[in-house]
Structure 1
Amino acid sequence: MALYEVHARKWENGWELQVADVGVTWSPSLVEASARAKEFVCAQLSLDERTVHIDLQPQVNKDLDQLAVEARRAVHMADEATRIATVKVREIVQGLTEAGLSLPDIAQYLEVPQRRLEELLYG
């Protein structure tokens, strides 16, 4: 599988897509950019779409791009913390249930709203 790096830059008519070592095309939206870039690469190089992978790197401006990196990192860390919390909550709930506590009592014991506890357990 071939990997193509695509720098997507916002402009007034959509997104300019610069494909390394291939050329430049465009997309009306960022949502469509990967598919457009893949079609472009395949057409330019006569490749099968199944063999092409696009690494889309959107760019707006230096400050916003840096903020986006930080936001993605924070979301990733939050997702990981939620995954860890879910494992721990399921483990403690099992033990507390075996000790005879009801779900409302467990929520109170853990100082977690029952609705949030249920999200972690079943969501």
Structure 2
Amino acid sequence: MSDGRDVYRVRARRWEHGWELDIESVGATQSHSLKDAEMMARDYISLALDVPMDSFDLELVPDIGEGLAEQARQARAETRAAEKARDDAALKLRRVARMLHDEGLTGKEIGIILGVSTQRVSQLLKAEARARGGEHRTSA
């Protein structure tokens, strides 16, 4: 259960004409594409159990072989980690730009230190000001 809603696990197996959808404890149906698998499974569950299509959650599990599934899982995890690292670096860059500005450095000097253009320094300072809750005037 998820937030009090039923969760149905749908194992999707590829075959010659699309995907076979084995819905745990409910039955099986088919879909021409993986893109349509969730809608087909929802429709099947809704009709089989006489419940609204939006009253439950699905866990779609494509059966692509353990090796490829693990590689896909790792790729997703690495992508999430890279996105977090990018966001953390951007936050730090904005904060350092603000600290350098508060020390009296010019936009050009800040740009040289951080390895960015003067225009980028201006953007960083404005973004940091917004994050701090106020539109402070920044001169780069």
TM-score, normalising length: structure 1 = 0.81
Pair 1:44-2:54 in alignment: no
Distance 2:99 2:65 in 1: 51
Q: Give the Å deviation of 1:62.
A: 2.0
Pair 1:63-2:61 in alignment: no
Q: Tell me which protein shows more helix as a share of its residues.
A: 1
**What CA deviation, in whole Å up to 9, does each residue of 1:21-74 have, x standing for no partner?**
011111111111112111111111101122111111112122111111111111
Structure 1, unmatched stretches of 5+, are none
Q: Which has the higher contact order (CA 8 A, sep 6+)?
A: 1
Aligned to 2:12, which of 1, 8, 12? 8
Relative distance call for 1:47 and 1:110 in structure 2 (3 A) is same
Structure 2, unmatched stretches of 5+, are 128-140
Aligned to 2:36, which of 32, 35, 45? 32
Q: Give the Å deviation of 1:105.
A: 4.2
Q: Superposition pairs for residues 66-81 of structure 1, below 5 Å? A: 66-81=70-85
Q: Is the radius of gyration larger for structure 1 or structure 2?
A: 2
* Percentage of identical aligned residues: 29
What is the number of residues matched between the two proteins?
Answer: 117
2:105: which partner in 1?
100
Distance 1:107 1:21 in 2: 61
Structure 1 residue ranges (4+ consecutive) displaced by more than 2 angstroms after TM superposition: 96-101, 104-108
Determine if contact 1:17/1:26 at 8 Å carries over to the other structure.
yes
Distance 1:10 1:101 in 2: 60
Paired residue type of 1:72: R
**What CA deviation, in whole Å up to 9, does each residue of 1:70-123 have, x standing for no partner?**
111111111111221122122112222333331x64343124x54xx68x957x
